[in-house]
A and B are shown apart, each in its own frame.
Chain A
Amino acid sequence: MITISGQPMRTREGVTRREWLRVGGLGWMGLPGLGLPTLWQGHATASEHKPRAKACIVLFMFGAPAHQDTWDLKTNAPSAVRGEFQPISTNVPGIQVSEHIPRLAQLADRYLQIRSVTHPDNTHTVAMHYMLSGVRHRRPATNPQNAADDFPCYGAVLNHVRRDHESAASGLPTSVSLNAPANQVSANNHIFPGFFAGFLGQQADPLFVPQHANRADFQPLPAIENAQRLWDRSRLLSQFDQQSAELNQLGAVRGFGGYHEQAFQLLTSPAVRSAFDVAQEPTPLRERYGQTPFGQGCLLARRLVEAGVSLVTVNWERDDAYWDTHSDNFNLHKKKLLPNMDQGFSALLLDLEERGLLDETLIVWLGEFGRTPTINKNAGRDHWAACNTVVLAGACLRGGMIHGASDRQAAYPARDPVSPEDLAATIYHLLGVDPHRLLRTPEGQPVSLSTGEPIHSIL
């Protein structure tokens, strides 16, 4: 895994001597992650079909928003269920959303809502794995940490299949995860599954950028004052690896030198440095997105996609206030969560549209599950995976549409249920990746990327 700047993440594997040597070679650059060059390892494959979208931005609402207080309001439900918010009209006749997302209400013709997403896992960890990979966790009855047999997340799969993507030539990563590590560590120091490459190996992990883009000192890439010295150091490390017969027998480090060169490019490429330099954006635009980790994360995601990155995940930063509203659900949604989300998401839609990028960029807005129909005694809503809303935009999808429906209490799908498998198949289809393409586990076991089917009626 690679993390640039900010808090280093713990790895699921221990640090080996070989890795320690690698860290020794790169650590002076402020790269706490292990094995930077391995980002580009993987198997080159031809793209299966022409993609509808060149790039994808996943807006992941870590903690799980209340679907019935955001998108799918049920004003006719009993008072114990319906909540405090009123629906408002959108710019699409017949479609209403929460009064606390007024900006998005005026853009309803730009996105489609899937109001019937359903799965069985009500624990954050396994639900995140399910929603961010489209595959149910192997041990869904547990509350697991990320593990080497996890299914790869969307970004990792794109790293794997688009290894030879044109962006790699400029040093750009294929997949980036923003605001990541802080969100992946729960109160008990638990690193969540669903954000990693799992059995594809760490080399396919997205590039993690933990530092918040709204910080005045945001600089995810370390300053390189002496590129020649860096190059010398990296070449030395490559030579060390090449000279080690033992290491060269290990698949994990074969071709290390080549990837090392690309890692060097990441740090020295002007294109990469420029893509991450969110400060280049004019202040009014930055303010339009909101000066929060999520808002500026959305802006950075646009910059990265514009530069050629294939998939950017903007994780909700729990410092903004957290979607897991077991108590005080309405105040938190009303005062902190929804306004922040409304601002960042709506600004992203308009900005992409103004730049002519919306049609070629898929935006996926999702949480790991929905929240309980019944309001608990702390004015909160608890975990509820049986029904949830996911929003898709861009990629020439028809906006102003609702696919599926929930029942009267937004508790269960009433029409056209959609599984995480189907959602994954839809996303991969739009990105030009065959959803049924086979991946191989380290044991050589072929597994289908998705067992679902694209939702043809929305395509």
Chain B
Amino acid sequence: MLQITTGNPSWLCGGSSMKRLVVAVGWGVTCVVLASPLFGGEEPLTWNARAKKVFCVAFSPDGTSLASATNDKSAKIWDAATGQEMLTLKGRVGQFYSVAFSPDGKRLASGGGDFQKKGGVVSVWDVVSGRETLTLKGHFNSVTSVAFSPDEKLLASASKDQTVKVWDAATGLERFTLQGHFSYVTSVAFSPDGKSLASASEDRTVKVWDVTSGQERLTLKGQSKFVLSVAYRPDGKQLASAGKDELVRLSDAASGQELLTFKGHTGSVTSVAFSSDGTRLASASGDKTVKIWDATSGRETLTLKGHSGSVMSVTFSPDGNRLASAGQDGTVKVWDVTPRP
């Protein structure tokens, strides 16, 4: 692949005033790229993920890499600054629907699989060597979402088999199977203190589980359609959830009481993510946009347009200055979302 880079790549780590141009041309697959002040717009760094659909993107904890889960039965790790492919993780498990870095950034968990034949599979990969170090089997249907606990000791997986499993992330032994949802479980997230786990489901609920006992603590009801994504606010006090009803809801994580509703999308909301300081919330939607909201007031602060298909996943960089999105147009986009006074 020929790659021409001008300007200082450090802009990608936050600066917004520098000259930006990255152009990459390759055979067969194109990475067309970006850049902003040169062209007078806030264009994101964009690359083709070499698959028709991207289901999930995740930043590495140091913000330098991005992992993607795609419908070509692979997970890939990309240089978040250039979009260059660094590693392809090819499993034997069918589709990959979800990826998550361990908090130390050394491991990547992927979730995928299919119904019955191979079942849902969670894999843990060494990010440096690309070796699969653990294969966790037990779900009989695809795994839709994976998450590491903040202390890295546990791994949670949500599945279309309508359960959530909690695994020992070092040994791969199953700790709990959390039963209670009665439709596909679509998303799973650990609370920042690692004591709770939230799961979202097509049964129109979000459930909060006690990670120590495996008991259900709370069920958040009231959504009229499928819930597709759930995320904890970094202070652990609130939960954001979103789904087919096109709304983002902010709820009290202890009581389940709904605090705010964010209205604005005109399609299913597929993914929600908080910035690390908890002030902003990003949402990806089937309306092909990503929106950024003030997480306290619920005010919409930015709409990012550019995807040509449903956006399936959104995540902030650890420093909160960039936002990665990906979706059914097969691209990954990295947007500069540096807060401006």
Contact = CB atoms under 8 A, between A and B. Distances in A.
Interface stretch (B24-32, B155-163, B251-259, B300-308): B155-163
A140 B225 CA distance: 9
A384 B163 CA distance: 14
A417 B115 contact: yes
Contact of A141 (B141, B163, B244): B244
A413 interface: yes
Contacts of B115: 417, 419, 421-422, 452
Q: Is the interface of A mostly helix, strand, loop or mixed?
A: loop
B262 interface: no
Nearest to B185: A120
B221 to A, nearest CB: 14
A120 B203 CA distance: 8
A417 B160 contact: no
Contact of A417 (B141, B179, B184): B141
Contacts of A417: 115-116, 140-141, 161
A385 interface: yes
Given A120-B160, A120-B202, A122-B203, A412 B116 contact: no
Given A386-B162, A412-B163, A417-B116, A121 B226 contact: no
B117 interface: yes
B162 A118 contact: yes
B71 to A, nearest CB: 14
A142 B245 CA distance: 10
Contacts of A109: none
B215 interface: no
Q: Give the residue among A384, A385, A412, A453 with the most B Cβ atoms within 10 A.
A: A412
A411 interface: yes
B183 A122 contact: yes
B182 interface: yes
B258 to A, nearest CB: 19
A412 B185 CA distance: 14
B183 A411 contact: no
A120 B116 contact: no
Contacts of A421: 115
A422 B203 CA distance: 23
Contact of B162 (A142, A372, A412): A412
Contacts of A422: 115-116
Contact of B182 (A384, A416, A452): A384
B121 to A, nearest CB: 15
Contacts of B203: 120, 122
Contacts of B141: 118, 417
A285 to B, nearest CB: 42
A384 B181 CA distance: 10
A452 B115 CA distance: 9
Nearest to B224: A141
Contacts of A413: 140, 161
24 contacts: A118-B141, A120-B160, A120-B162, A120-B202, A121-B183, A122-B182, A122-B203, A141-B225, A141-B226, A141-B244, A372-B182, A386-B162, A412-B162, A412-B163, A413-B140, A413-B161, A417-B115, A417-B140, A419-B115, A419-B116, A421-B115, A422-B115, A452-B115, A453-B117
Q: Report the 4 A-B pairs with minimum CB-CB distance, sorted nearest first.
A: A120-B183, A141-B225, A141-B244, A120-B184
Interface of A: 118, 120-122, 140-142, 372, 384-386, 411-413, 416-419, 421-422, 452-453
